[in-house]
Amino acid sequence: MVTITEMSVTQAEFRKAMGSFATGVTIITVDFEDEVHGMTANAFTSVSLDPMLVLVCVDRSARTHAHLHAKKRFGVNVLAEHQRAISEYYARPERTHERAEQEAGARFARTAHGTPVLNDALAYFECRLHTVQDAGDHTIFIAEVEDVVLREGQPLLFHRGKYHEIGDPLN
């Protein structure tokens, strides 16, 4: 049993504690001047059922931050376990759209709204921006879900800074 005696949490401790919260991994996709811009994100959460709302938290210094503000429409692609290379690729600062297929096997189609959608992802959410909330060094983008595409398969997981595959269900 650990007793917390004072609230002097360092950023490293905060990151480590948050890392114990296992998540899936998504690629946020947005059209940028007719090219696909993607960003790896795990700060993705369901917010409301009626209306159907989700949120994603994006660093204010990320290029994606400006693109979401400008476009007000984006996709959330939930990665399958075989898509780790895509997660790694879209977390790299120096990536380009041209090399995404060659380096990570990422291929995209377009929805009727023109939003890029990643091939073979486990789920796709077509999102229209609803509310923007400043939150420290990140911004919370809350969006209405206009469409969903779902596929069979197993998810890619992220826990304590490492990628994992899902295990057997508990009884």
Ligand X SMILES: Cc1cc2nc3c(=O)[nH]c(=O)nc-3n(C[C@H](O)[C@H](O)[C@H](O)COP(=O)(O)O)c2cc1C
Exactly one of 40, 77, 83, 115 binds ligand X (CB under 6 A); which one? 40
As measured in angstroms, the least distance from the Cβ of 165 to ligand X is: 15
Exactly one of 36, 55, 64, 115 binds ligand X (CB under 6 A); which one? 64
Nearer to ligand X by Cβ, of 5 and 138: the residue is 138
The answer to whether 138 touches 7, Cβ cutoff 8 Å, is no
Name residue, tokens 């911004």.
139
As measured in angstroms, the least distance from the Cβ of 4 to ligand X is: 26
| 93 contributes a contact to ligand X by CB under 6 A | yes
Strands 44-48 and 123-135: unpaired
State how far the Cα of 157 lies from the Cα of 162, in Å rounded to an integer: 8
State how far the Cα of 29 lies from the Cα of 156, in Å rounded to an integer: 17
* Residue ranges that bind ligand X, judged by CB under 6 A: 25, 39-43, 57-59, 62-64, 87, 91, 93, 158
